[in-house]
């Protein structure tokens, strides 16, 4: 068994042993909100936003971007599970700032193996085969953090499946301090009507 697999199963055993009354939680989030945020390993939404089991929906992807699939989850979150407030939280030092579609497509075309990064940018081992399928994916990279929060709040706000009465707040999490900093322009756009 891999070391990680072993560790995860051991941790879960300890967690389940101390599960308490959490087995009776209702499915709809008790605090009726959802957070869309990045998958970055340094971000722990349960900790940075004070969540316990049953409190809120957390939707995560690379960048915390308002992709079609993120919006699918948000719409389910509201329509079927009655959340009433949404957060979009991107963060400092996001990996999505370090590449473009063009770079990702080039890396994947040359090799599927893990690339490396240094001061001059991303490099490949070159160990093929790669694939040009990456050309058909919008990688939703980020060039300006505050702008990406504004863009994503705007996209969600204007989406035909999203009701106007749900406020959407835009924030940047600071990986150096653990602080959530508001992107005022995003929150303004995300205001409920
Ligand atoms: Zn990130």
Q: How far is the CA of 167 from the centre of ligand 1 (A)?
A: 23
Edge-to-edge order in the sheet of strand 85-91: 56-61, 33-38, 85-91, 168-173, 180-182
- pLDDT tens-digit series, residues 93-112: 999 999 999 999 999 999 99
How far apart CA 25 and CA 23 sit, in angstroms, is 6
Q: How far is the CA of 36 from the centre of ligand 1 (A)?
A: 12
Could you tell me the sign of the dihedral formed by the alpha carbons of 97, 103, 109, 110, in that order?
A: negative
pLDDT of residue 90: 98
Question: Above 90 in pLDDT, residue 21?
Answer: no
pLDDT of residue 37: 98
The pTM of this model reads: 0.96
How far apart CA 97 and CA 117 sit, in angstroms, is 13
Q: How far is the CA of 179 from the centre of ligand 1 (A)?
A: 15
Q: How far is the CA of 38 from the centre of ligand 1 (A)?
A: 5
Question: Above 90 in pLDDT, residue 170?
Answer: yes
Point out which residues pair with 91 in neighbouring strands.
Answer: 173
- pLDDT tens-digit series, residues 129-169: 999 999 999 999 999 999 999 999 999 999 999 999 999 99
- Provide the Cα torsion 152, 156, 158, 164; round to 10°: -140
Q: CA 85 from chain center: how many Å?
A: 16
Strands (E), 51-120: 56-61, 85-91, 116-118
Question: Above 90 in pLDDT, residue 125?
Answer: no
Looking only at the bridges linking them, the beta strands covering 168-173 and 56-61 are unpaired
Q: How far is the CA of 90 from the centre of ligand 1 (A)?
A: 7
- HEC string for 106-129: HHHHHCCCCCEEECCEEECCCCCC
Q: How far is the CA of 175 from the centre of ligand 1 (A)?
A: 10
Using a CB cutoff of 5 Å, list residues around ligand 1, an ion.
38, 40, 94
Q: How far is the CA of 15 from the centre of ligand 1 (A)?
A: 27
How far apart CA 129 and CA 112 sit, in angstroms, is 7
For residue 136, the SS3 value is: helix
Question: In this structure, are residues 94 and 44 in contact, taking their beta carbons and an 8 Å threshold?
Answer: no
pLDDT of residue 10: 98
pLDDT of residue 126: 80
Q: How far is the CA of 117 from the centre of ligand 1 (A)?
A: 16
């Amino acid at each position: 068994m891999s070391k990680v697999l072993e560790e995860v199963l051991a941790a879960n055993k300890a967690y389940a042993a101390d599960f308490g009354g959490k087995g009776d939680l209702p499915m709809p989030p008790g605090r009726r909100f959802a957070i869309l945020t990045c998958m970055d390993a340094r971000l722990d939404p349960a900790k940075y936003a004070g969540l316990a089991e049953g409190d809120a929906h957390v939707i995560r992807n690379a960048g915390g971007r308002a992709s079609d699939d993120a919006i699918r989850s948000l719409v389910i979150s509201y329509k079927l599970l009655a959340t009433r407030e949404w957060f979009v939280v991107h963060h400092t030092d996001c990996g999505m700032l370090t590449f473009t579609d063009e770079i990702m497509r080039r890396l994947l075309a040359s090799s599927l193996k893990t690339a490396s990064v240094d001061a001059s940018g991303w490099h490949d081992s070159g160990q093929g085969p790669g694939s040009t399928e990456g050309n058909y994916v919008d990688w939703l990279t980020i060039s300006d953090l505050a702008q990406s929060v504004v863009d994503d709040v705007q996209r969600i706000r204007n989406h035909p499946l999203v009701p106007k009465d749900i406020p959407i707040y835009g924030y940047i999490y600071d990986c150096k301090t653990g602080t959530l900093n508001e992107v005022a322009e995003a929150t303004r756009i995300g205001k409920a009507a």
